[in-house]
Amino acid sequence: MRQGSLFTHSCVLRGRGRLLSIKPSSNTLFKQLGGLATLEQVHQRFYDKVYAHPWLGQFFAGHDQQAIELRQTQFMAEKFGSETPYPGQPLELAHRRMFISETLLQLRQQLLRESLESEQIPEPLIARWLKIDHAFWRQLSNGSIESFQEIDLKYEQPMVIPHPRHAGNYSAPIENIP
Q: Which of 6-15, 23-32, 134-143 has the lowest mean pLDDT?
A: 6-15
User: Has residue 61 got a pLDDT over 80?
Assistant: yes
Helical H segments across the chain, by residue range: 6-11, 29-33, 36-52, 56-59, 65-80, 91-95, 102-118, 123-134, 137-140, 145-149
154 domain residue, yes or no:
yes
138 domain residue, yes or no:
yes
121 domain residue, yes or no:
yes
Q: Which residue has the higher pLDDT, 22 or 165?
A: 165
Q: Which long-range contacts (CB under 8 A, 24 or more apart) does 90-98 make?
A: 91/136, 91/139, 91/140, 92/139, 92/140, 95/139, 95/140, 96/151, 96/153, 96/156, 97/153, 97/156, 97/157, 97/158, 97/159, 98/59, 98/158, 98/159
Task: Indicate the number of domains in the chain.
Answer: 1
CATH number at residue 57: 1.10.490.10
Q: Which residue has the higher pLDDT, 94 or 3?
A: 94
The string of DSSP letters for 19-49 reads: EP-----TTSHHHHHTSHHHHHHHHHHHHHH
% the chain with pLDDT above 70: 71
How high does pLDDT run on average in the chain? 79
Using 50, 70 and 90 to split pLDDT, how confident is the model at 167? very low
For helices 65-80 and 36-52, the axis angle rounded to 10 degrees is 140
Q: What is the pTM of this model?
A: 0.74
- What's residue 9's pLDDT? 33
Closest listed residue to residue 78, CA positions, set 90, 66, 67: 90
Domain that holds residue 23: 6-176
How many CA atoms within 13 Å lie on the side-chain side of 79?
18
| Average pLDDT of span 14-20 | 44
User: Has residue 176 got a pLDDT over 60?
Assistant: no
pLDDT digits (tens, 9 = 90+) for 84-111: 889 988 887 777 777 888 899 999 999 9
1 domain residue, yes or no:
no
